[in-house]
Structure 1
Amino acid sequence: MPIVTAAGHPDRLVVLESFPEPRSTTNPYLVQLMRSLPADVQVMTFTWRRALTASYDVFHVHWPEILPRGTTRARTAARRLLTAALLLRLTVRQTPMVRTLHNTGPHEPGGRLERALLRWCDRRTTLWIRLTPSTVAPSDGPVVTIPHGHYRDWFADLPLAPAEPGRILFFGLVRPYKGVEDLLDAFAEVPDGISRLRLVGRTTDDSVRERVERAVLADPRIGARLEYVGDAELADEISRAALVVLPYRRLHNSGAAILALSLGRPVLLPSGSTAEELAAEVGPGWVETFTPPLTGATLTSALAHSAGPDRAAAPDLSGREWPAGGSAHAAAFRTAAALARRGGRR
């Protein structure tokens, strides 16, 4: 699978992103990406009307499974039809598609028709953007590596609290694949009364919510806020943690890990290429790893290391600056447009 690097192009490029106009709850990664693109790239945010009727040079997809999914059966059926119409339009108009591989497949599987639409989307992808060097794209085609940008600028104006000894934090969307139940089981094995566990983030899974609520009632050391929190509250929660634990059962890429490191808090991740690459990048002492299953002994050891003197004053995130990331995205879009003009995958 070739790695490509594109030179700049003087013409203005119009890129349709797959996410709608940002709101207060929009992932800051997407907002920072939009802001980092150079002036010769015009960004259009997603509406179905724009996707099906507007003129644009490149369609940039982040999580394609969102396109065919609705909140009701009727809306899901409608969005599947709209997704098929969009893919057909892209094919007929020979519009290139660029996909960022936040994950190589949906975290929650869909039905047979959704899977067929996503395979079509994979086949139609002109160029892949991966966030980590070890990622393998779902289908053939050019691949560029653009690291996930940091969050230091996004949170720069918010006050940060000092880390509290023994405080463990999990934050982010609380979904089954993220291993929250494993974290609760492991924390139950931690014998001391000093350590505390805090869980912060919205969940739509009733079984996970019930499991967390039972744990909170059973152990006074555990606290939870299972809802969306704003930037100021999130920065406060992260900065008060001595250790951020992300016990994902599948770790492909983690914006949460980058966020924790951006605010100067060490993270514990499951071992594997993603964690190892990140640990080597940011410097010693900032990324601890464990081989599943997660245990109380692992948590205790990681907490002890988090208080140790073996790391630099801040993790090295110099390879994740947004101006460089924006320029790299613009180059990737222009490469995809050039490939389409030459008759490559469209």
Structure 2
Amino acid sequence: MSTVRVLTSHGEPRPTTNPYITMLTGALRRTPGMEVVPFSARAALLGRYSVVHLHWPETILGLGGRRFTGRLVRWVLAALLLARLTIARTPVVRTVHNVELPADASGAQRLLLRWFDRLTTHRIVLNDRTECSGPSTTIPHGHYRDWYTGPRSPMVPGRLQYVGLVRRYKGVEGLVEAFRSVADDSLTLDIAGAASSQELVVTVSALAYDDPRVSLRFDYLSDDDLVAAVTSAELVVLPYRFMHNSGTVLAAISLDRPVLVPDTPVNADLAAEVGPGWIHTFTGDLTGEAIEAALAAAREPRAASPDLSAREWDDAGQAHLAIYRLALSRAGSRERSAAPRSRASS
């Protein structure tokens, strides 16, 4: 079979790139029969590729950029790319990370994102609970055992840990309030991660200011910082108000630390997959009672490591290649059906 050239929606991975993207790119490059073309304006508009794979198409649009002129240039680039894909009938594969359009997308950006959606030939979902229109295939999010290899910290009894970007929907304010209602002075809470706004820093700091058991670090975490923080914890707490796919959950259990997360069907499936004792859940708003119950459950005997055998990266590379070939075959079928039939000579 011929080599499949895949244009990705991200550039060449850098040290600050989402580890999921970096590890997936490595897996794709290790898969025979595939060539990865990192995104750039030149590659997208003038390069040679047979399939496009989108993750967060809003990154192509410069969503969140501060300068209007910069965003406008990105919109024009996206429109030209979409026109090329439409005319050339290039198949588009989309990994569904988020189930809704970005809340801060403008009207123009939403139009372009919907255009990307209409061109999508096949969708990759990270769990069986993701609902989407059109053909889709589940490829589980790979584990992080081979990524987070920095020095581990000794586990601190009673340490509760939050890691990751501090945003409103992640419920960090509720975590601090719930923790403060726990009377046990042997417990500590550490919150580590960059905040999305100064307003949120002020809010969380005000909630925690007179409880010496709470420590706050509103800084970007390097990989080694994350490993040190997670492995120092007896329980990682992720009190999201909404959780569908979470790389942070997988980071924690890849580092052999149990987590407390919202009770959702996705998390219930993950708990069944990885084995007992690793995924603990709460319903509704997080409470002090839920924290204490999860910590007690996390102290029960469990396997030395969770079962992550279904999340090997080389398996993911082969699965992606199969989907790219499927998308190409469907595109070829559409072209044949759209082509005018030649008349038989008499």
TM norm structure 2: 0.92
Cα distance in 2 for partners of 1:108, 1:206 equals 19
Secondary structure in 2 matching 1:289:
strand
Map 1:108-147 → 2, pairs under 5 A: 108-137=103-132, 139=133, 141-147=134-140
Q: Is the 8 A contact 2:173 2:207 kept in 1?
A: no
Secondary structure in 1 matching 2:11:
coil
Cα distance in 2 for partners of 1:32, 1:299 equals 33
Secondary structure in 2 matching 1:253:
coil
Cα distance in 2 for partners of 1:55, 1:227 equals 40
Bigger drift between 145-154 and 205-214 goes to 205-214
Amino acid aligned to 1:307: R
Map 1:1-346 → 2, pairs under 5 A: 10-37=1-28, 38-68=31-61, 69=63, 70-137=65-132, 139=133, 141-156=134-149, 158-309=150-301, 311-343=302-334
Q: Is the 8 A contact 1:215 1:222 kept in 2?
A: no
1:114 Cα offset (Å): 1.6
1:295-345 deviation per Cα after TM superposition (whole angstroms, max 9, x unaligned): 111111111111122x21111100001111111011111111111111189
Cα distance in 2 for partners of 1:206, 1:100 equals 32
Compared with structure 1, are the counterparts of its residues 252 and 339 closer, same or farther at alpha carbon in structure 2 (3 Å cutoff)?
Answer: same
1:78-109 deviation per Cα after TM superposition (whole angstroms, max 9, x unaligned): 22222122111111111111111111124543
1:293 Cα offset (Å): 0.7
Q: Is the 8 A contact 1:244 1:260 kept in 2?
A: yes
| Structure 2, unpaired ranges of 5+ | 338-346
Q: Is the 8 A contact 2:271 2:279 kept in 1?
A: yes
Give the alignment's Cα RMSD to 1 decimal.
Answer: 1.6
Amino acid aligned to 1:308: E
TM norm structure 1: 0.92
Compared with structure 1, are the counterparts of its residues 227 and 48 closer, same or farther at alpha carbon in structure 2 (3 Å cutoff)?
Answer: farther
Cα distance in 2 for partners of 1:108, 1:205 equals 16
Structure whose CA Rg is larger: 2
| Structure 1, unpaired ranges of 5+ | 1-9
Cα distance in 1 for partners of 2:58, 2:100 equals 8
Secondary structure in 1 matching 2:95:
strand
Q: Is the 8 A contact 2:235 2:260 kept in 1?
A: yes
Identity %: 45
Cα distance in 2 for partners of 1:101, 1:44 equals 20
Bigger drift between 122-131 and 221-230 goes to 221-230
Q: Is the 8 A contact 2:176 2:208 kept in 1?
A: no
Secondary structure in 2 matching 1:21:
coil
1:122 Cα offset (Å): 1.1
1:101-149 deviation per Cα after TM superposition (whole angstroms, max 9, x unaligned): 1111245431222222211111111110000001011x3x210100000
Q: Is the 8 A contact 1:177 1:250 kept in 2?
A: yes
1:215 Cα offset (Å): 3.3
Cα distance in 2 for partners of 1:218, 1:329 equals 51
1:206 Cα offset (Å): 2.5
Bigger drift between 101-110 and 180-189 goes to 101-110
Cα distance in 2 for partners of 1:183, 1:108 equals 24
Secondary structure in 2 matching 1:269:
strand
1:216 Cα offset (Å): 4.1
Cα distance in 2 for partners of 1:249, 1:84 equals 34
1:205 Cα offset (Å): 2.0
Cα distance in 2 for partners of 1:62, 1:129 equals 9
Compared with structure 1, are the counterparts of its residues 171 and 219 closer, same or farther at alpha carbon in structure 2 (3 Å cutoff)?
Answer: same
1:220-259 deviation per Cα after TM superposition (whole angstroms, max 9, x unaligned): 2111222222111111111001111111111111110011
Q: Is the 8 A contact 1:171 1:199 kept in 2?
A: yes
* Alignment match, 1:4: none
Bigger drift between 43-52 and 106-115 goes to 106-115
Q: Is the 8 A contact 2:101 2:110 kept in 1?
A: no
